[in-house]
Amino acid sequence: MAATDWSAKQYLKFEAERTRPSRDLLAQIPLNSPRNIVDLGCGPGNSTAVLLSQYPNACVAGMDSSPDMIQKARETLPRVEFTVDDLSTYTPQEPVDLFFSNAVFQWLPRGQRLKTIKRLMQLQPSGGVFAFQVPDNLAEPSHVSMQETAADGAWSEVQSAVRDSFQSPQEIYDELKPLCADVNIWHTYYNHSLENHEAVVEWVKGTGLRPFIDPLSPADRDAFLKAYLGRIQKAYPKSVDGRVLLRYPRLFVVATRN
Ligand SMILES: C[S@@+](CC[C@H](N)C(=O)[O-])C[C@H]1O[C@@H](n2cnc3c(N)ncnc32)[C@H](O)[C@@H]1O
């Protein structure tokens, strides 16, 4: 696993919470029996397993740019075809009835996201569905604290690590609607009860913190995480049972081809 690769082990520490949005997304997909399904950015296969249980007769495949994630996905679901590939160039071999993507497109550069979605949608048959979910949490204390920590310390490598915001629902609708009979967009705010403040840090260490801490030396990484934890302790109160509520807004889109 390369130093900057994703870690399936770290990511799966919060598997139940991270997989729940894929079930909520799936619940709104207007397809009874899609034949070909691709899980874009399938990670360790957790979202792929949700697709398989909903559509046991479909041909389900998964792709992801991380070798570590794909290795874990193959171990977990040996009968599924998983490929290491990058979304910016990925092209399926056959028409796909359902493209599904849970918590992936926010990692593409802003200018690539809707362009990639539209390129793949144009390959779909009429009635095909493109469904995706992305976190909408850059304004949450968990993410503002990353930026503040980066700006406050001697970590010049990470000053520009901030992920850019996702397109607004209006922008998404206006871009996708010319290709679609229907574009269904909504937000859900999860409030995850985590064991303590350290658990908030563990959660984002597997995802949003990666661009901030991956470029740092081990010593600087430890110092960054300590400073970040201090901010998290100030930003989130303890609940009555000593746990910490992590508010987590997510944006969902289900687009049906015309
Ligand atoms: C937050 S994980 C989501 C995993 C899984 N879909 C789930 O529901 O939990 C994001 C995944 O997107 C993948 N990813 C990020 N950029 C990508 C790209 N350009 N092409 C393909 N996969 C990408 C990462 O390797 C990672 O596995």
- DSSP secondary structure letters along the chain: --TTS--HHHHGGGHHHHHHHHHHHHTT---S--SEEEEET-TTTHHHHHHHHH-TTSEEEEEES-HHHHHHHHHH-TTSEEEE--TTT---SS--SEEEEES-GGGS-HHHHHHHHHHHHTTSPTT-EEEEEEE--TTSHHHHHHHHHHHHSS-GGGTT-PPPPPPPHHHHHHHHGGGEEEEEEEEEEEEEEESSHHHHHHHHHTTTTHHHHTTS-HHHHHHHHHHHHHHHHHHSPPPTTS-EEEEEEEEEEEEEE-
Whether 3 is covered by a domain: the verdict is no
- CATH number at 189 reads 3.40.50.150
Q: What pLDDT is recorded for position 12? A: 77
State which residues form the domain around 229: 8-257
Tens digits of per-residue pLDDT, 109-163?
999 999 999 999 999 999 999 999 999 999 999 999 998 999 887 776 676 666 7
Q: 166-179 pLDDT, tens per residue?
A: 999 999 999 999 99
Determine the distance separating the centroid of ligand 1 and the alpha carbon of 74, expressed in angstroms.
15
107 lies in some domain: yes
The residue contributing the CA closest to ligand 1 atom 25 is 66
**Predicted confidence (pLDDT) per residue in 169-228, tens digit:** 999 999 999 999 999 999 999 999 999 999 999 999 988 898 899 889 899 999 999 999
> pTM of the entire structure?
0.92
> Does 214 map to a domain?
yes
Q: For ligand 1, what atom is nearest to the CA of residue 206? A: 1
Site to probe by mutation for ligand 1, drawn from 25, 38, 104, 132 as the one with most ligand atoms within 8 Å of Cβ, is: 104
85 domain residue, yes or no? yes
170 falls within a domain: yes
Compute the distance from residue 63 Cα to the ligand 1 centre, in Å: 9
Q: Which residues line ligand 1 (CB under 6 A)?
A: 6, 18, 22, 41-43, 46-47, 64-66, 69, 86-88, 102-104, 107-108, 207
Residue 2 lies in a domain: no
Nearest CA owner, ligand 1 atom 16: 107
CA–centroid distance, 186 to ligand 1, in Å, is 21
Per the domain annotation, does 147 fall within a domain?
yes
**What per-residue confidence (pLDDT) applies to 1?**
45
What total of structural domains would you count in the chain? Answer: 1
> 1 lies in a domain?
no
Compute the distance from residue 40 Cα to the ligand 1 centre, in Å.
7
